[in-house]
Structures are given as structure tokens and as C-alpha cells.
Structure 1
Amino acid sequence: MSSNPYNEEALEWIALAEQSGERLDKFITDSIDDAAVSRTQVQDWIKSGAVEVDGKIGKANYKVAEGNRIVLQIPEPADAAILPEAIPLEVIYEDSDLIVINKPRGMVVHPAPGHSSGTLVNALMHHCKDLSGINGMIRPGIVHRIDKDTTGLLMAAKNDLAHISLAEQLKDHTVTRKYIALVHGNLPHDQGTIDAPIGRDANDRKLFTVTDRNSRHAVTHFVVLERLDDYTIVELQLETGRTHQIRVHMKYIGHPLAGDPVYGRNKTVALNGQALHAAVLGFTHPRSGERLQFEVPLPADFEHVLNSLRIR
């Protein structure tokens, strides 16, 4: 594991005119793209000297001004007791550099408040013994995430060489990520692109929404696969990877995911979570240069819902 007290990548923002006058701790809490980060956590980071404003160490009560360059280097936790756990994994591919998993519904990817065990990281630590240390002790090996109740393909790195390569491919949009989803309503177009920035919801910081305020560029492509009365099965391809991106984008265009307890509708389907499956994952192997692509079928509960809709 890395001994660096900070993660390799810093988060950086330039304050906008409408953000002038906000406290620094509130500004960062509203801006950071992770719903698990609380304002108290941000205040602790500021106290530790992890935040700079225009090159100087910031204070929590500093009032942000337009044009301020704010940089956060997230410190690693001092005593992260993340333990290996013998949790069964469906391994799709594995070698000395990386592993590809078919994640089940209900599994959190890495430890977070309220989920200190039973996560994919706990399982990987038992299965792999060694994982890359770039993301620190809480998220060893984790290059990208999918939501707790989203099923499907996820890759993890066993060493830093693999981690850097896979992260760069994600940044350069050369990783293929295709999802299958069941959404409410009948989409008027057979295919399309949703290009809309995503940021925290101003009314509930645990949620994300399409907004121009403290947002990040987000692009999702979709193709209609099948129309089922009041529902549509779509294939979605991510160009960017923001928190809750597909769920937020589909809600934005008026077709939220079926079963989504956060962004969906009250009338829903018999699933414990959103009908979203990471079906295809493709990337270039970090060592061999070979292009790899994997595909896994829908989980049984998702398939059962679709079959029930087809015979209505």
C-alpha cells in the first residue's frame, strides 16, 4: 500500500460568481463528486492542511471569492482497518495485473460510512492478496465504481502499473462501458445522446442532478433495444463516469430507471434497486496491449422482470 498521506490526484475547482461568499467547507462539500463525504469530513481535511486557496492553506470559514482556485488533496485515513473477507466472487477474468468481477446486486464497491465490511474491496483483499495502492487503504485496486444495487462488470487493478493504465484509459474515454436498463415510459427516439452536466442537488447533497452549478461534464449515449408497453429496454454507453450518471440522465429526460428508489417513480417493478446492469466492459490490457472485452448476461431477477412485462 502507498505510504503517501494524500491520494495521487487532487480535486480542483475555480469558484464562480454565484458562489462568492460561501464558506470554504460548504463550497467543497457541495462540489465534491462523492455523496459519502460529509461536511464534517471536509472540515477535518481543511484542518489537516489538505485544502489550498490560491496556493495558500485554507480555513473552513474562509469566504470564497469569484476566481479562487481551490485544490483538495484527500488525506488517507490514519487507521483504516479494512479486513479481508471470504466473500464469494464471480470472477470473469483474472491475471497477475488485474481482475474483472461480475458484481451482484446489493454489494457496495468499497468501504464507506455505514458499510465498513461486506464490500467488494473486502472480498478482493481476501481473493487477490495484493492490490494497487494508488487509491489508498480504503479503495485498494478500485479504478471505477458502480452503485450498490447496479449489477455487472467491474475491473480492479492488482498493481500500480495496471491501475495507472486503466485510469488513463477511463480518462481518455477509451474504455467501453455498456449498460442494459429498464426505464419508465416509451422513449420517442430509437437512439440519442444526453449531454448534460451533473452536480449535487442544491436541496439534498446526497443526490445528484443536472445543473450548471458546481457540475462536471457528463455524456451518456442510448439505443432502444425493446419497447414493453409502459417501459423501454435501453442500452446505454458511458462516455464519462459521474456519480449516478445514468440514473440522473434518464430521470432528466423523463424516463427514470425502473426500480430506482432514489431517482425513480413510486410505481415500480419487483427489484431490490434500479434495473441497471453493466453488461459490457472493454479495455486495453495494461501490460500486453491486447484489447479485451467482456460481456455478462442479465441477472436472474432482472430477466424475470422483463419476462413478466413481455407476457402482460
Structure 2
Amino acid sequence: MSRNNRYLKFTIKDSDKKIIRKFLEHHRFSSSQLHNLKNKGGQIFVNHKQRHFNFKMKTGDSLLIVLNGEQPSDLIEPMPGKVDVVYEDEYLLVVNKPPGLASLPAKARSSKTMANVVKYYLEKKHENSSIHLVTRLDRDTSGLMVFAKNSYTHSLLDQILHSEGFKKYYLALVYGQMDPASGLIDLPIGIDPKAFYLRAIDWQKGKDSKTMYETVENFKTASFLKLKLLTGRTHQIRVHLSAMGHPIIGDEMYSHQKDSRINRQALHCYELEIIHPVTKKLLKLTAPIPQDMVLLRSALKG
């Protein structure tokens, strides 16, 4: 069997559903995944014998699911580049994205993005190179990004994305000082009527958006914040902080000013806490603060 196939192994417990289909539904297989498993070359083995969805298992049986192979999309072409791997197993890949690199290609873009580089990296390892982007970052935001290695893991991660099973923490350097020093920003975000690629606070049509923040350090004219995303809107942290009157340093789009000390917004996804959707282990992953933010921070200390 090729390494492109993904295996899921289960030992059937007393409390488990015994009919294979029911068992898989209980383990959050979506109807499209069950369809693919049945019609696109997936396989099911109970105690090393191939079985169908209606087979009834017993406590102690070992169930092996071989997920169907996936055809990688032609829209994302593999491109060589540096992949800073923070965590990897057979189900997921977490990378530290540098600033200045988009997460995914725009429709007509042939420039290199994180997805192109990851695809190349997976192909080199002869793994399933279908790209399943679980979290994305703006081009000029650095830090941790999560890719699933198959559609089953992707859908499990999607189901916990904005829950306590998947916590995302960011660091930002902002103009001025937050008052109060920590709290919750709860302001609805919608598309800016002036430009479709911008976001704005929109009380009529905006989507519920929540960001928790705490001040880590205050400087004379700026502060260093730790933020936790409770929802995942485009540009959420950038819009929320600018709405509070404390835009991120270097974020020309929302601060409307250039800053000679850094050439991007000083925003970095530095920590993820994920309950692994398959192994159920808690992953605590971190990415160190990039050099440009370290330098900005010491400049602010004066």
C-alpha cells in the first residue's frame, strides 16, 4: 500500500457502537467521508478481514480504516522553499510561517505561498499532498499555521476550531496603552464599504467577533499585548485593536501611517493549544518571536 493512504486504527470498547457505519458516524465521519470511503477506494478491516458498513463488531475487535487516496488540486503547484516545521505526525503539520508570505494563492497569482511550499515538502516525502489548510494567517502576520494531512483530520479540526479544544494566541506591539490593561473586545466585524479587501466594525451586518487581550509590557508610547482569538474573522485582531484606538505598529492598512521601525504589522501567532483530534493528546506548540519584532520591542524600550 502506498504511503499516500492514511490509516486509522481503533480497538472497539464496550461503550462503542458496534455496527461499522454507526461507529464511524459516532467518530464524526461526515456523510461525504463515508461516501468516499465506500465509493472512492477506501477500505475497512475488522481483525484483518475486509468488511462493509453494515458489519457488526464485538468488544475487543480491532478496526482498521484505510482512507481513500486524494487527488491533489492542480491549482496549487508545488514550489521549493523553507518549511519551518514545529510539529508533524501522520495527521497534521504545523509550520512557523515567515512574514511576507501569503497562506494560499489568490486566483490568478503564481507567486509562492505557504500552501505551495508545504505541497512541495509533502510531495518530497511521498505523502498525500492534497492541501488542507486549517488556519490561515495574513501575508504579513508571522507564526503558527496548521495543515491537516487528509480530509478526515481537516473536518475534525474544523469542528473544534473556535472552541477550547483549539486555542490560538498572538503577540502584538501596538501604539499607546490599553485601558483597561486587559479585557475582551466584542465588536462585530463586516466588510468595509469603501474597499472589499478591508474589514470594519459593522453593527448592522457584521459577524460576532471576540478577542481577549492582556498587556504584557508597557512602553512610553506603545505596549506589548498577548491576544487570544475566540472567533476567526478576517483581519480580526488588526480591526479590533484599531477600533480601540491602538492599531498594531506597522499596520499601514489600519493605522494609516508608515512606521520606519518595522515593514509589516507587528503581529505573530506564537502559541497553539490543540487537543489532537485523533490521538486526543494536548499539543502545546510555540513559535519564537521573529527578529523584526524583537528589534522593535527593544527600540520601544528605548
The verdict on a shared fold, with TM-score over 0.5 as the criterion, is yes
Corresponding residue to 1:268 among 243, 259, 264: 259
Matched with 2:153 is 162
- 1:163 and 1:259, CA in 2 relative to 1: closer, same or farther beyond 3 A? same
1:217 pairs with 2:208: yes
Matched with 1:106 is 100
- 1:187 and 1:124, CA in 2 relative to 1: closer, same or farther beyond 3 A? same
Corresponding residue to 2:165 among 156, 174, 188: 174
Distance 2:169 2:75 in 1: 34
Deviation at 1:113, TM superposition (A): 4.1
State percent identity of aligned pairs. 34
Distance 1:224 1:131 in 2: 42
Matched with 1:293 is 284
Within a 5 Å distance, the mapping from 1:134-283 to structure 2 comes to 140-266=131-257, 268-283=259-274
Distance 1:82 1:267 in 2: 33
Instruction: Tell me the secondary structure at the aligned position of residue 305 of structure 1.
Output: helix
Letter in 1 for 2:99: R
Aligned-residue RMSD, C-alpha: 1.9
Matched with 1:90 is 84
1:306 pairs with 2:267: no
Instruction: Tell me the secondary structure at the aligned position of residue 203 of structure 1.
Output: coil
2:170·2:268 contact (CA, 8 Å) conserved in 1? yes
Within a 5 Å distance, the mapping from 1:20-169 to structure 2 comes to 80-113=74-107, 115-129=109-123, 130=127, 140-169=131-160
Letter in 2 for 1:222: Y
Q: Which runs of 5+ in 1 are unaligned?
A: 2-7, 9-78, 134-139
Give the TM-score normalised by structure 2. Answer: 0.72
Letter in 2 for 1:125: K
Distance 2:169 2:247 in 1: 17
Deviation at 1:186, TM superposition (A): 1.6
Letter in 2 for 1:159: N
1:282·1:292 contact (CA, 8 Å) conserved in 2? yes
Deviation at 1:308, TM superposition (A): 1.3
**What whole-Å deviation, never above 9, does each CA across 1:126-151 have from its counterpart, x for those lacking one?**
11134575xxxxxx210121100001
Instruction: Tell me the secondary structure at the aligned position of residue 263 of structure 1.
Output: helix
Give the TM-score normalised by structure 1. Answer: 0.70
Instruction: Tell me the secondary structure at the aligned position of residue 111 of structure 1.
Output: coil
Count of aligned positions: 229
2:192·2:199 contact (CA, 8 Å) conserved in 1? yes
1:132·1:157 contact (CA, 8 Å) conserved in 2? no
- 1:233 and 1:171, CA in 2 relative to 1: closer, same or farther beyond 3 A? closer
